[in-house]
Structure 1
């Protein structure tokens, strides 16, 4: 199956394969660096960063942001809580849910890990992109994400 682009046919399944393999390799490389320097992995970093940037989010908010199931997200939060990085607080607006807040240790960790994350990701991207092509790729992927999120494509069912 091919799709027409402005510069000729595109191997759409090949594009998908490249996209997924790039994401996996980037994720794994970031996991390695974050684990080595800070004792956490990329998914934990992303959760902590989101909670830092959006204090008092709920598990459902994290699940929606990361397009994963609520059960899996709750288990991830349980692990962050067990490590002392996140605390659950009663939600005054809804007793059925909790608000998630970073502990002081979690806040310190995410700030330190963010520098490592950004440094390593920049290293990896600099090997494949110059500034203009990275900017163009960023625009394309932001557009794709916006369309997928607008249309609620790929939302988990549970």
Structure 2
């Protein structure tokens, strides 16, 4: 597939990355202010709410980050009392991660804050539906072809 040569691809990439960084930081600030968590913690908790009994490896694949970083993040969530580890009945070498009741309450409250703030930040964008569809398609293609996965 060829790209539209009228598009400055390095500029497009720069815009994409800077938008992601600024949105992430703005959401981070709001979540920290209102709930005492950061965006990455919210995303992990939300994933675990939707996928109870996930392994650290499942989170690593979902967020395209290394196993070590994912395990440390899960340890921090467990230390806060938001996540508990359970024995994995099908593999004694791994454990399953589940939200605690405190974790569920936190992620439910934080999701409302997250959604409201993100809605404020993107409310005036034209063609938001087309943009969302394009980004979902790009993500699906990258994930399908396992592009950009961490090596460790």
Question: Partner residue of 1:104?
Answer: 101
> How far does the alpha carbon of each residue in 1:40-70 deviate from its partner, in whole angstroms, 9 at most, with x for none?
0000000000000000000000000000000
Q: Look up the match of 2:77.
A: 80
Aligned-partner Cα distance in 1 for 2:144–2:99 = 29
How high is the TM-score relative to the length of structure 1? 0.93
More strand by share: 1
Mapped pair 1:92 → 2:105: no
2: CA distance, partners of 1:53 / 1:26: 23
**Secondary structure at 1:9 match in 2:** coil
The runs of 5 or more residues in structure 1 that have no matched partner are none
Structure 1 residue 4: deviation in Å? 4.6
Offset at 1:146? 0.7
After superposition, the CA RMSD in angstroms is 1.0
Cα separation, 2, equivalents of 1:53 and 1:86: 13
* Corresponding residue to 2:6 among 6, 9, 15: 9
The number of residues matched between the two structures is: 151
Tell me which of 107, 115, 125 is aligned to 1:118.
115
1:134 paired residue among 114, 128, 139? 128
Higher relative contact order (CA 8 A, sep 6+): 2
Q: How far apart in 2 are the matches of 1:109 and 1:87? A: 14
Q: Find out whether 1:35 has 2:32 as its counterpart.
A: yes
